[in-house]
Homo-oligomer: A and B are copies of this chain.
Amino acid sequence: MKDNVMTSLQPIKLSTLKTACKSCSLHDLCLPLGLDLSDIDRLNEIIKRRKPLQKGEYLFQNGNTFTSIYAVRSGSIKTYTESEQGDEQITGLYLPGEILGLDAIHNNQHPCSAIALETTSLCEIPFNILEELSEAVPGLYHQLFRIMSKEIASDEALLMLMAQKNAEERLAAFLINMSTRLKQRNFSETEFHLSMSRKDIGNYLGLTIETISRTFSRFQNDGLLTTQRKYVNILKLNELKAIAGIGRHAAENSADDSVAG
C-alpha cells in the first residue's frame, strides 16, 4: 500500500494551524478557488479550525440549527437523511477540499446528519459572517454558487445512476468517481482506501451489502481490480470506466460530476 492513500492523511497539527487557506494544498479545490491573495486572507480570518473529529463522531445532526458550512481538510465525512420509518439514506460523501452543509441554508436547519468516517479535520465557516464578507469580496458569492451548483448537478447524476443502472454499473461508477476525485487531490487514482464500509456503499448506491460484495467479487474474478477489505487496487481503469458508462474522452471531466457529493 502506498503512503498516499487516504488513511495516511493525518489530522493537522497545532503548529500547522497557522498555515491557512493561502498555503492549503486544497485551496484550488475549495472555497478560495479563484480568489486573489488578499481576499483569501480575509476569508481565512473568519474560518475556524476545529479539533479533528474521531471516527463515528457527528459534525452535526438532522434538525440542528444551521450556523456554518464546513470544508474537509483531511479524512472524510458522510451525510445521511433518515425517513420517518427510520431507514437511513446516505446522500453524500465528502473528501478533502469539499464543502458540506449547503443543503441547510433554505430553512436554517440541517436536513441530514454528518458523521466522520475516519479521523477528520475540518474548517468551519460561519455562514452569516461569510455572507457579510461576500459583500466585500465579489468573487466569493460566485464561488458559493459554483459549489452549490456543482452539488445539484452531482445529485442529479447520482439520481441517473439509481434510476437507470444495474449493480455492476453503479459500483463501477462509484469507484471511478472516487478514483477521479482522489486523483484531483494528488492521491493515486488506482490504489486507494475506501473509508466507507460495504454497507455504506450499498446504502449510498441503493443496493444491499450482499450485492456489493458479490459485485466486488465479480470484478475481482474478471481481473478488473483487487480488493482487500477497504483497500482497492484498480487494475483495468479503462474497462471499469467502460462499465460505468463513461467513454474514454468524457471520463476525466464527467466522472467528477457523476457520483460526487
- Measuring CB to CB, which residues of chain A are less than 8 angstroms from any residue of chain B? 81, 83-85, 87, 89, 91-92, 102-107, 111-112, 131, 134-135, 138, 141-142, 144-153, 155-160, 162-164, 203, 205-206, 245-247, 250, 257
**Could you say which of B89, B106, B135, B246 contacts A159, with CB atoms under 8 Å apart?**
B89
Q: Dominant SS at the A interface? A: helix
> Given A138-B135, A141-B131, are A156 and B155 also a contact pair (CB < 8 Å)?
yes
What's the minimum C-beta distance from A199 to chain B, rounded to whole angstroms?
A: 13
Q: Do A206 and B246 have beta carbons less than 8 Å apart?
A: no
Can you list 29 A-B contacts (CB < 8 A)?
A81-B156, A81-B157, A83-B164, A89-B163, A89-B164, A91-B159, A103-B149, A103-B152, A103-B153, A104-B149, A106-B145, A106-B146, A106-B147, A106-B153, A107-B150, A111-B156, A131-B141, A135-B135, A148-B148, A148-B152, A151-B152, A152-B155, A155-B155, A155-B159, A158-B159, A159-B159, A162-B162, A163-B206, A164-B206
Query: Inside 8 A of A257's CB, which chain B residues have their CB?
Result: 111
> Given A111-B257, A203-B163, A246-B84, are A105 and B145 also a contact pair (CB < 8 Å)?
yes
User: Bound state CA distance, A22 and B3, in angstroms?
Assistant: 60
**Could you say which of B83, B89, B152, B162 contacts A206, with CB atoms under 8 Å apart?**
B162
> Given A105-B149, A141-B131, A146-B106, are A159 and B160 also a contact pair (CB < 8 Å)?
no
Query: Inside 8 A of A149's CB, which chain B residues have their CB?
Result: 102-106, 148
What's the minimum C-beta distance from A39 to chain B, rounded to whole angstroms?
A: 15
Which B-chain residue is minimally distant from A134 (CB atoms)? B141
User: Bound state CA distance, A155 and B142, in angstroms?
Assistant: 22
Interface hub of A91, A104, A245 (most chain B Cβ within 10 A)? A91
> Given A104-B149, A112-B156, A149-B102, are A245 and B85 also a contact pair (CB < 8 Å)?
yes
